[in-house]
Amino acid sequence: MAGAPDERDLQSEAAAAIPVTVLTGFLGSGKTTLLNALLARADMGETAVLVNEFGEVGLDHLLVREAGEDVVVLNSGCVCCSIRGDLVEALRGLFRQRVMGEVPEFRRVVVETTGLADPAPIIHTLMTDLMLAHRFRLDGIVTTVDAALGAGQLDDHPEAVKQAAVADRIVLTKTDMADPAASRELQDRLRALNPAAPIIAAVMGDVAPDRLFDAGLFDAAHKSPDVARWLNEEAYRDRDHGHDHEHDHGHDHGDDHGHPADVNRHDDHIASFCLTFERPLPWDSFAHCLDILLATKGRDLLRVKGILNVEGEDGPVVVHGVQHVFHPPVALPAWPAGPRTSRIVFITRDLGRAAVEKVFLSLGVG
């Protein structure tokens, strides 16, 4: 865990950095359809899109010219880049081309993952590569879920559950092909899995970009913090009670008679909750708590984000982490409206609220 809030103006740096949206979702869930529809829109201009293969995205009717071996410029003004190797190199190279004027100015980046991808490594990359951290910042994670097949994918594939659990926005695709009752059940399940993410229904990728982007801490229009929307701790209040998922996961969730495992069995591994602290927190003790959690349960901390009232700090301090990696804390200039309460949202796997609270209480934080 990083030390006390940096003396650099990290808030200004973060607000000036180019926002990056990670587009993820299970195989066949409609990522490419959504991306194609977005790229065809004029209001997606000044966007750079990184994809695994151009062939998966229908660019023929969108292509204006090739800007390089792996880069094309689209009619909408978007830049589309094929990731042939390392994401770091792709982003660095694209930024260099932007500075040199070889590609149009872009003010947003979308990274499309493969269907079986864990979004965490991409987030790690944005947080840990020093050059990228100065130029880019994570804005949010958009996850596509198939309305017709999504329930079965959540049942059978833990990757699909994790993709939905860490999302800032969930796009429910193929709603025109799904049974309405089954679609409603899936939406209820997704809300239980991830209470804070809005669920946006889409047919053939028809979604306005402003419903997907600017999901992060900083408001793109005003370059100012929007803590309430970013944290959305209100969404976790109902989930906080009676949903401690701390039980033995070393067994099959089927019954003693050999019947198939229950639905939602992968969901049972995921917990989401918000811890609040009324008194100002001693930074060293808080950081020590996070160090313990990272050392013992780091791989199970799917996402952590919070706003802290730290002793000796006039404004709030923002923390954001994914598994073993935490972004340097950011000191904001002023508190948003409301009480100066520390709020920390945890999205975890096989790690319940009680175990996390125990770590904080053991060090006198609370």
Please tell me the distance from the alpha carbon of residue 312 to that of residue 335, in angstroms, as a whole number: 14
212 and 270, same domain (yes or no): no
Please tell me the distance from the alpha carbon of residue 182 to that of residue 165, in angstroms, as a whole number: 20
Give the alpha-carbon dihedral of 212, 118, 15, 340, to 10 degrees: 90
281 and 350, same domain (yes or no): yes
Inside any domain, residue 251: no
214 and 278, same domain (yes or no): no
pLDDT at residue 242 tops 50: no
180, 200, 227: which is the final residue of a domain? 227
Domain that holds residue 321: 231-238+266-362
Inside any domain, residue 126: yes
pLDDT of residue 258: 40
Edge-first strand order for the sheet with 136-146 is: 63-68, 71-74, 79-82, 47-51, 108-112, 18-25, 136-146, 169-173, 199-202
pTM of the model: 0.85
Question: How far out from the chain centre does Cα 271 lie?
Answer: 16
pLDDT at residue 308 tops 90: yes
Query: pLDDT of 152-203, one tens digit each?
Result: 999 999 999 999 999 999 999 999 989 999 999 999 999 999 999 999 999 8
Query: pLDDT of 200-229, one tens digit each?
Result: 999 888 999 999 999 988 877 777 888 888
227, 254, 284: which is the final residue of a domain? 227
Q: Give the CATH number for residue 321.
A: 3.30.1220.10
pLDDT of residue 52: 77
Q: Torsions phi, psi of 255, nearest 5?
A: -95, 180
Inside any domain, residue 169: yes
Give the alpha-carbon dihedral of 125, 130, 136, 141, to 10 degrees: 20
CA nearest neighbour of 107 among 35, 23, 47: 47
Please give the single-letter amino acid code of residue 250.
Answer: G
Q: Give the CATH number for residue 140.
A: 3.40.50.300
